[in-house]
Structure 1
Amino acid sequence: MSLIKTLPPEVVNLIAAGEVIDSLAAVVRELIENALDAQATRITIALFPEIWRVTVTDNGQGMALSDLRNCAKPHTTSKIKHLDDLGKITSLGFRGEALHSLTQVADLSISSRCATEDNNMGWFLHYNAQGEPQSQKPISIAPGSIITVDNLFGKMPVRRQGLPNISSQLKGVQTIIENMALCHPNITCKVLQNERIWLNLSPGKTAQHILPQLLKRIHFNDLQFVEQEVENFPNSKIELLLGLPDRCHRGKADWVKVGINGRIVRSLVLEQTILTAFSRTLPKDRFPVCFIHLQICPSQIDWNRHPAKVEIYLNSLDLWQDKISQIIEKGLILSPHNLSVMAQNERVSKLLKVSEAKGNYQVNSQVSDESGLIELKAVGQVNHTYIVAEHSNGLWLIEQHIAHERVLYENLQDKWELEQIKTPIILTKLSSEQVEQLEKIGLEIDRFGEQNWAIRTVPKLLAKREDCQAALLELSLGGDLQTAQVALACRSAIRNGTEMNLSAMQDLVNKWKNTRNPHTCPHGRPIYLSLEESSLALFFRRHRVIGKSHGI
């Protein structure tokens, strides 16, 4: 007797549906993607988790009656038509599985009106488990669609019982919506839970306008947005949204996100590239806030790897790693574009511009030096600790020790130099682990007697220091080469309390502002405090006088 038999169609459909629709979040994901593909700009999501119902309303193109009759049948889609289309996918959905899968695991009904048809009438259809219309009737509706999924997993009670609790599922829904909003900042999105507003996201030009709505402790000014075209890749660009490391960071890597062509994806390689780019800019055990959005030619991507389309094959992965590292470095430099504080306070900006036009109050735009970085002029020192640096829109207080530490650390990264010394330095009672550590960072070390060790090469920064022996003992206590470089930079940097003349201060400021990560020291401490002209005008209430004198 044959043991291998063909499964009944209803079993096959249920198995396939379980791969696509496995939670409330999956329902929301699929319906949002359909709305975005229909060019919707407003999406409303109504959740009734206790009764397993989801309704998604959009103002997209809608569907004609003929499309409504076919849209829930298996493998029906308007996104692709031929095999070759799999290599040029520009839509979020393309498999034609989502709506049919919903008919397998829930009750599905759709109300829709096609925006391109002249009549003012839409249609309501309810579908059976085969995805065929069970009933239909004309209705009065605005252009767009209303899709209702009811009694989710009612046909699969074991699946429903095995799902996480409602709170966990809603967290999954929230993540889906947050990811959608970052990738599509122009969308207005409202989420209701049991008819009460849960999320209400306003649209913006970029993800920089969206993230502060999602993370309430992060403000617009804490973020930096950069975008650039990608050479040799037509119609490709990278968008970067990063939290400035001296202003915001997280206790876990939950806001290190990668988006590709409008969808957040999982890419351990690209996520690790982001984390590496922020190395030694954040405090210990803290992680960056960073969103990278790659807009790439569809031929470079294979989406057909995972039912939820969150895992992909990406061609030229090494190239994209390099591009991501470069744009993060670009986003961290101290350029006037990155530090345009005047644009962050529109009211003060307008007041000062009016005053400037009247000739009574001079306001300069940010000035850059020859390298394109903000121009800073050292004008003094406070408590032999802080350098006061003036620029065209205010002044900064720069802590001299950690600014110098950042300079030295990056120099050591770029050129780790060891120097042969005439008289070896003797260290006693080193453990085998300490000896191994000194060898690991490149030092030449030999046994010199029973419990003594002779160090014959030392880092160049230490060669002429009186505390070289103590520094070597510190370096022997563990960590990789990077840790050793941080310790060496910290020990060798100018101490707070050291008096500096203007020339030395200016030299340090110039070197510091040219570093790759000038916002924080290698331990993650902020290096400078900004006092911008707009903030000073607000504090001293000069804008009120300006406004009154100019009729504002």
Structure 2
Amino acid sequence: MANTIQTLPQEVVHLITAGEVIDSFAAVVRELVENSLDAGATRIVVYLYPEQWRIRVADNGCGMNYEDLQYAASAHSTSKIHNGADLWKIHSLGFRGEALHSLTMLADLEIMSRPTNCYIGADINSCGFKVIYSNGGETHEIAATAMAPGTVVTVSNLFGYCKARRQGLPNTSQQLKAVQETIHQIALCHPQVTWQVWHNDRLWINTSPAATMGKLLPQILNRVRQGDLHELTLELASYACRDNIYLVIGLPDRCHRHRPDWVRLAVNKRMVKAAELEQTVLSAFHRTLPRDRFPVCLLHLSISPEHINWNRNPTKSEIYLNNLHYWQEQINQAIEQALRINSDTLNETVQTSRVSKLITTAEKQNTYRTSRSIQTIPKTETEAKDTINSLPETLPTQNSELSTQHYFKVVAQINNMYILVEHPGGVWLVEQHIAHERVLYEQICDDWQLVPIEPPLILYQLSKANVEQLQRIGLEIEPFGENMQAVRTVPAMLKARSDCHQAILELSQGGDLKAAQVAVACRSAIRNGTHLTIEEMQTLIEQWQRTRNPRTCPHGRPISLSLLETSLSKYFKRHWVIGKSHGI
């Protein structure tokens, strides 16, 4: 077996961002684990002994032969690149050849390894070898050892040759938290790998392999269930044939965070920091989440290596990315597509916990009745809070191709407030006001119009701040006598409303243009308590499910509750055998 680890030429070394990359337990784990992944490992076990300043990483990767082991810890020695041109074709997680050499300058390093493609009795590479390296990376001791194919790296007496570093490290619990975060980030980028982390010989972290990042996330993030997530993969053949976007989002009506700590970006199987792209994600979820809540979003970009420069930071946590604006547009479109209701998300398991609680409560509050007669209930008339003769132009009564394709059928209106909708997987209960609010809000954002009004609205005793606020959102307003202002333009949707005067006063209270658009949509939407015909409800449902963000209203409230047919079957005991249920 030919050796593959080579010392990089000096001209390549000068092109590399050199630096001390070993500054904590987490950094040691990161560098060793990345080497295991580059070796093709599918099982990685990490052993931590913080009080003894010792770390061990074992994997079942391809291993190293006798010759490679002798040079593994030499400065700038690596099997992953060989010349300057390779810096623009990075396919591996490591490439600088610094990590193992840096460890020999800070600690005692031992590597045991055996190649996977060897067989007993062939040559010197038919068995494993244990190598102990001296300070500086030279081979100090080497001996044959019995072991399975793979590699075991042991770092002992960490920072023993630079004890001042130990004084500046965080306490043990903080270091362990950093290790946990490192493992989780790397595991999400490599979900097919089995991970174990042992702390002082006790199993601490254990994740099973999964098909995708989204399937693995519930093992890592507590209280997130598979039904709370939606995965999407988009091929980007228009830019480069090998590029694609893989996206995992927490559906905004049931999965969000107090902090923006789970907006994560990975590029070519490595988590990176990219403030511009993270802001793009946050902006894409604008007006879909409750106030002061943030999305769960994992984004993986598979990009041709020639469009990336990893040589920005020694930890490789930051990159230079070509054509940043293009990727911002693609990410925004991917999130918009993932938030829609379509054939891919229609039959998903949704709102599992909420539906389960409803069923449990219903079972406790209701008992089976023996009477088979249907009791008639006298009807009572309910006055609607707001009456409408016909819905506005935003609800044209016409069929939708999308509605016909996916079969969304309005069944009834409940309490003049909720619309019962049948779909192939079960039923939806849709709150009519906020569904219409979502429809109007997106229409307003797409076509914000201020129209003249005659005669002008006369407002009394507005403060200077109120006047400036109306001017800030574009309304034409001017003095009209003492302590009076004349408003000569208003949002188009408010012009014909009898409460336009009150709406403009609300808009003067503060907020940016987006907040004003939300306020206009909220005031213009049909009110709960309004009776709608089947045709009007059908049109509203068709328009609602075609919106970009149909799961929540602009304030972040959930618009619909989905009850799957499987849940209905469970509640009505349809799995019972008829004979047994009758006592036969």
**Does 2:458 match 1:426?**
yes
- Displacement of 1:131 in angstroms is 0.6
Return the alpha-carbon distance in structure 2 between the equivalents of residues 18 and 129 of structure 1: 18
The equivalent of 1:175 in structure 2 is 181
Return the alpha-carbon distance in structure 1 between the equivalents of residues 402 and 531 of structure 2: 29
Equivalent runs, 1:367-386 vs 2, <5 Å = 369-370=401-402, 374-386=406-418
- Displacement of 1:342 in angstroms is 6.8
Q: Is the 8 A contact 2:347 2:425 kept in 1?
A: no
Equivalent runs, 1:85-234 vs 2, <5 Å = 85-119=86-120, 121-232=127-238, 233-234=240-241
The equivalent of 2:425 in structure 1 is 393
- Displacement of 1:450 in angstroms is 2.4
Gaps of 5+ in 1: 1-15, 346-367
Deviations 1:14-39 (A, max 9, x none): xx997211111111111111011000
Return the alpha-carbon distance in structure 1 between the equivalents of residues 115 and 251 of structure 2: 45
Out of 273, 284, 287, the position equivalent to 1:277 is 284
Secondary structure at 1:542's aligned position in 2?
Answer: coil
Return the alpha-carbon distance in structure 2 between the equivalents of residues 373 and 216 of structure 1: 37
The equivalent of 1:359 in structure 2 is none
What one-letter code is carried by the residue in structure 2 that aligns with 1:442?
Answer: G
Return the alpha-carbon distance in structure 1 between the equivalents of residues 511 and 577 of structure 2: 57
What one-letter code is carried by the residue in structure 2 that aligns with 1:292?
Answer: L
Return the alpha-carbon distance in structure 1 between the equivalents of residues 106 and 463 of structure 2: 64
- Displacement of 1:105 in angstroms is 1.1
Return the alpha-carbon distance in structure 2 between the equivalents of residues 404 and 541 of structure 1: 36
Q: CA 1:323–1:299 in structure 2 vs 1: closer, same or farther (change >3 Å)?
A: same
Secondary structure at 1:282's aligned position in 2?
Answer: coil
- Displacement of 1:542 in angstroms is 2.1
RMSD of aligned residue pairs (Cα, Å): 2.0
**Does 2:476 match 1:475?**
no
Deviations 1:295-314 (A, max 9, x none): 00000000001000011000
What one-letter code is carried by the residue in structure 2 that aligns with 1:170?
Answer: L
Q: Is the 8 A contact 1:17 1:101 kept in 2?
A: no
Return the alpha-carbon distance in structure 1 between the equivalents of residues 253 and 181 of structure 2: 26
Return the alpha-carbon distance in structure 1 between the equivalents of residues 448 and 247 of structure 2: 31
Q: Is the 8 A contact 1:334 1:373 kept in 2?
A: no
**Does 2:345 match 1:326?**
no
Secondary structure at 2:566's aligned position in 1?
Answer: helix
Deviations 1:114-161 (A, max 9, x none): 011223521111111111111111111111111111111122222111
Q: Is the 8 A contact 2:456 2:486 kept in 1?
A: yes
Q: CA 1:516–1:47 in structure 2 vs 1: closer, same or farther (change >3 Å)?
A: same
**Does 2:558 match 1:521?**
no
Return the alpha-carbon distance in structure 2 between the equivalents of residues 125 and 436 of structure 1: 74
Q: CA 1:372–1:285 in structure 2 vs 1: closer, same or farther (change >3 Å)?
A: farther
Return the alpha-carbon distance in structure 2 between the equivalents of residues 50 and 405 of structure 1: 58
The equivalent of 2:38 in structure 1 is 37
- Displacement of 1:344 in angstroms is 12
Return the alpha-carbon distance in structure 2 between the equivalents of residues 373 and 529 of structure 1: 21
Return the alpha-carbon distance in structure 2 between the equivalents of residues 443 and 101 of structure 1: 64
- Displacement of 1:495 in angstroms is 1.0
Q: CA 1:369–1:158 in structure 2 vs 1: closer, same or farther (change >3 Å)?
A: farther
Deviations 1:402-442 (A, max 9, x none): 10110111011000011111111111222222111111111
Return the alpha-carbon distance in structure 2 between the equivalents of residues 217 and 101 of structure 1: 40
Return the alpha-carbon distance in structure 1 between the equivalents of residues 127 and 208 of structure 2: 30
Q: Is the 8 A contact 1:418 1:459 kept in 2?
A: yes
Secondary structure at 2:575's aligned position in 1?
Answer: helix
The equivalent of 2:296 in structure 1 is 289
Return the alpha-carbon distance in structure 2 between the equivalents of residues 247 and 343 of structure 1: 9
Between stretches 183-192 and 155-164, larger displacement belongs to 155-164
Out of 308, 321, 325, the position equivalent to 1:301 is 308
Q: CA 1:231–1:320 in structure 2 vs 1: closer, same or farther (change >3 Å)?
A: same
Gaps of 5+ in 2: 1-16, 121-125, 353-399
The equivalent of 2:69 in structure 1 is 68
**Does 2:272 match 1:262?**
no
- Displacement of 1:338 in angstroms is 1.8
What one-letter code is carried by the residue in structure 1 that aligns with 2:48?
Answer: L
Q: Is the 8 A contact 1:111 1:124 kept in 2?
A: yes
Q: CA 1:384–1:247 in structure 2 vs 1: closer, same or farther (change >3 Å)?
A: same
What one-letter code is carried by the residue in structure 1 that aligns with 2:306?
Answer: S
Equivalent runs, 1:2-41 vs 2, <5 Å = 19-41=20-42
- Displacement of 1:343 in angstroms is 11
Return the alpha-carbon distance in structure 1 between the equivalents of residues 483 and 334 of structure 2: 51
* Number of aligned positions between the proteins: 512
Q: CA 1:61–1:405 in structure 2 vs 1: closer, same or farther (change >3 Å)?
A: same
Between stretches 274-283 and 44-53, larger displacement belongs to 44-53
**Does 2:547 match 1:540?**
no
Q: Is the 8 A contact 2:351 2:562 kept in 1?
A: no
Secondary structure at 2:129's aligned position in 1?
Answer: strand
Deviations 1:52-103 (A, max 9, x none): 2111111100000110110100000000001100000000000000100111
Return the alpha-carbon distance in structure 1 between the equivalents of residues 349 and 404 of structure 2: 18
Return the alpha-carbon distance in structure 2 between the equivalents of residues 371 and 74 of structure 1: 64
Return the alpha-carbon distance in structure 1 between the equivalents of residues 447 and 267 of structure 2: 36
Identity %: 55
Return the alpha-carbon distance in structure 2 between the equivalents of residues 393 and 464 of structure 1: 40
**Does 2:318 match 1:317?**
no
Q: CA 1:479–1:198 in structure 2 vs 1: closer, same or farther (change >3 Å)?
A: same
Out of 432, 440, 450, the position equivalent to 1:408 is 440
- Displacement of 1:254 in angstroms is 0.5
